[in-house]
Structure 1
Amino acid sequence: MLRRRTSRDTVSSIIIMKVPTVVLSILCSVHLVSTETHSLSMRATLIYGETPFPEFSLVVLVNDVPVEYYDSDIKKFVSRRHWRVNDTIEEFRFRNFMVEEIYNAMKVPSLFLRRHFNHTEGLHIYQGVAACDLEDNKVNRFFITSAYDREEKYQYDVLTQAQNTLGPEFVWNKIFMEAKKLRCSYVYKPLFEEILRRYLQEDKNILLRKERPRVRVIQKTEPHSGRTQVSCVATGFYPRRINMTLLRDDRPVPDRELTGGEVLPNGDGTYQLRRSLSVSEEELRERHRYTCTVSHLSVDNKLDVNWEPEAPAHTVLISAVLIAVLVLAALIITAIVLCRKRRHTGFKNLCPSVAGVKYAAAQSEYHTCVNVH
């Protein structure tokens, strides 16, 4: 049975989609899959202006899977763990603390930015992403980044305490920064680590599962240019992190020649990835060998799928004509040989008949001569 999509489902989806691309590129950066990494991220959105969406919303994700959603209109968390029956998060410490903490942490700089840009009217959006990675049972990455009206403004690495202000309006004084460092190191970091460990323990059958990717190389003709598009496709894999490389004669194709590369969700909770290369007719005639190679946590070694272009159409046509000519020539030669053989066989069949007649005549004359004498 299809589940009816509620307004909160729509809002949570939009909130995830609205995070600026530059922020997502940091959050979803591809790790080497030789070691297993798990991540917890919180993506918050604060909206100013008239919209059908709540003023403040928060999406919690584990390994890129949405697990909780907070809506300021209903003022409570809603579970996105649909694989659990009667799920509740009443006991989670971040239920009230994290909402209030994140809301206040976003309210102050967003008001400052509105005054700085004189944005007293219209629709304006302030967004924040906090994410940590747990690798080999230890936090190896924890960062916070902020964006205003889809432009990234601030980055802060909690582990190294390095900050990057992408606008002069985000240069904070020393006292404020010292307080922020202490709060991130001694409040946010241990809390995020505890929350992530708890999710991984409670939902390990879902969040820790491994689904092997199905890999193939496909080709199609581009309708406008007539060139051939060669695509490396991997689908049905989980977790999300994956490495994909398209090789030409065992050498990696430069990224500037490729399109695609964004990991997209499937409807069954797995993911897919496609990278494509546009190949000219001249390159097809050179008969390069293309290889799609994929690394994922679900496989011990790389998955390699090879593809070699077929001969161009005119080459196939010429080959077909030559084959037809050769077949026709063979048929003609065979017919000539059979015809000559039949003629030769006919002459031999005729000779015994003539010899027999002569022998009978001679024998008759002999008997006649004997009788006469």
Structure 2
Amino acid sequence: MKKFFLLLLFCHVSSSVKHSLKYFLTASSGIPDFPEFMGWGLLDDTLAGYCDTNIKRVEPKQDWVKTYFDKDPQQLEWYTTECTKILPKAFKTRISSSMQQFNQSGGVHILQRINGCEWDEETGNVFGFMQYGYDGEDFLSLDLKTETWMALKPQANIIKLRWDADKLRMKHYENFFSQICPEWLKKYVDHGRSSLLRTERPSVSLLQKTPSSPVSCHATGFYPDRAMMFWRKDGEELDEDVDRGEILPNHDGTFQMRADLNISSVSPEDWRRYDCVFQFSGVKEDIIKRLDEAEIRTNRDHPRATLLPTVKLTDMKVPVIVPVIGVALVLIIVTGFMAYKKWKANRPPSPLENGTDLSTKLDPEA
């Protein structure tokens, strides 16, 4: 059943072309020398641009984004104003308001917002979304279908009632998510199509920390993220003794994933019966790595070597100030991303309408 579910999911993902424009916004208080506000823009889950209140500018992270802004400097100016002036002010006010609701007088606090839209190129359906998180937990979520806010914590009820009563604010959001965001998304996809719709095959390696550790089949550098990886024995996919990791982003816009095989009960003479398979959506030829001791990369002979590749968070401008604060902040940001993924599965659809207005604010309350 598990194998069937994975196959069904893989076929579903590869059967249509979906695009997304997402904005990840994070504000903090009580962290010295750390940006009070940071913003990431992602197109199809690839980092397109970044800004924060320390650098006071928008930094394109893809070549096609740079050329787009060269052709449309008005949009770059809009993003710069939003990120350096409007949104930092609004988020600072909201952190103070949230602290009051939780009866907090000080300390380190994080407010996040995840918003954007998704577009199914095949059906034309568009989905808009916006959700707030506070100190790593769900806080408020916008229901565009009912045009109301959902309080995800009791402390958010007062804010919900105030925002629900602001009809002008709600009208602005409805306009942004049904008209402006989809139009921008389509323009970005059209401009960056050669990059977004490219196919990059991964480098696949077998890795092992110690002779008793699981053997990790690791694929990195592939694009897009529609891929599967699994272990087989005698040509049959294995479910037991296999730990599949999630697809994770690399700093260069590509992706990585792994699948670990527990070999504690596998005799050396049976190794040749096992292989790792990487399947890529749209690519007929699988990448297969047979379980072979000669193919395994390990650091047990070179203790100082780095065994597994890592995602460089510093390339996304998430500096580690001190170990405790740095790790805590990254965990809070990741928690916010996971909250979005959890909410995304239950989001209601919004119809696509036409028209745009570049003069709008992403946050009307600012």
Q: Is the 8 A contact 2:150 2:160 kept in 1?
A: no
SS at match of 1:201: helix
2:248 maps to 263
Q: CA deviation at 1:295?
A: 4.1
Q: CA deviation at 1:253?
A: 1.9
What is the identity percentage for the equivalent residue pairs of Structure 1 and Structure 2? 25
Q: CA deviation at 1:236?
A: 2.4
CA gap 1:230/1:136 in 2 versus in 1, 3 angstroms: same
- Cα separation, 2, equivalents of 1:283 and 1:177: 64
CA gap 1:257/1:211 in 2 versus in 1, 3 angstroms: closer
Higher RCO (C-alpha 8 Å, min separation 6): 2
Q: What is the aligned length?
A: 275
CA gap 1:165/1:296 in 2 versus in 1, 3 angstroms: farther
* Residue 167 of structure 1, aligned match among 125, 150, 153: 153
* Residue 81 of structure 1, aligned match among 30, 45, 62: 62
CA gap 1:74/1:208 in 2 versus in 1, 3 angstroms: same
- Cα separation, 1, equivalents of 2:101 and 2:161: 20
SS at match of 1:279: coil
Q: Is the 8 A contact 1:127 1:146 kept in 2?
A: yes
- Cα separation, 2, equivalents of 1:285 and 1:130: 53
* Residue 101 of structure 2, aligned match among 106, 116, 133: 116
**5+ unaligned residues in a row in structure 1: which ranges?**
1-28, 311-373
SS at match of 1:43: strand
2:50 maps to 69
CA gap 1:191/1:94 in 2 versus in 1, 3 angstroms: farther
Give the number of the structure whose alpha-carbon radius of gyration is greater: 1
CA gap 1:95/1:169 in 2 versus in 1, 3 angstroms: same
Q: Is the 8 A contact 1:33 1:296 kept in 2?
A: no
Q: Is the 8 A contact 1:33 1:243 kept in 2?
A: no
Amino acid paired to 2:120: E
Q: Is the 8 A contact 1:63 1:240 kept in 2?
A: no
* Residue 172 of structure 2, aligned match among 183, 186, 201: 183
Amino acid paired to 2:96: L
RMSD (Å), alpha carbons: 3.8
Q: Normalising by structure 1, what TM-score?
A: 0.60
SS at match of 2:224: coil
2:286 maps to 303
* Residue 199 of structure 1, aligned match among 179, 188, 197: 188
Q: CA deviation at 1:44?
A: 0.9
Q: Post-superposition, which runs of at least 4 consecutive aligned residues in structure 1 deviate over 6 A?
A: 160-163, 283-288
- Name the structure where helix makes up a greater proportion of residues: 1
* Residue 36 of structure 2, aligned match among 38, 55, 65: 55
- Cα separation, 2, equivalents of 1:164 and 1:253: 39
2:25 maps to 44
Q: Normalising by structure 2, what TM-score?
A: 0.61
2:265 maps to 281
Q: Is the 8 A contact 1:212 1:237 kept in 2?
A: yes
1:132 maps to 117
Q: CA deviation at 1:164?
A: 5.3
Q: Is the 8 A contact 2:214 2:260 kept in 1?
A: yes
- Cα separation, 2, equivalents of 1:161 and 1:202: 32
Q: Is the 8 A contact 1:139 1:193 kept in 2?
A: no
Deviations 1:169-223 (A, max 9, x none): 123555733746543322233221122122222222223322233445x263x53
Q: CA deviation at 1:230?
A: 2.7
- Cα separation, 1, equivalents of 2:275 and 2:116: 34
Q: CA deviation at 1:40?
A: 0.9
Q: CA deviation at 1:130?
A: 1.0
Query: How does 1:84-99 map onto structure 2 within 5 Å?
Result: 84=66, 87-88=69-70, 90-92=73-75, 94-95=78-79, 98-99=82-83
Q: Which moved more, 1:103-112 or 1:232-241?
A: 103-112
SS at match of 2:104: coil
CA gap 1:243/1:144 in 2 versus in 1, 3 angstroms: farther
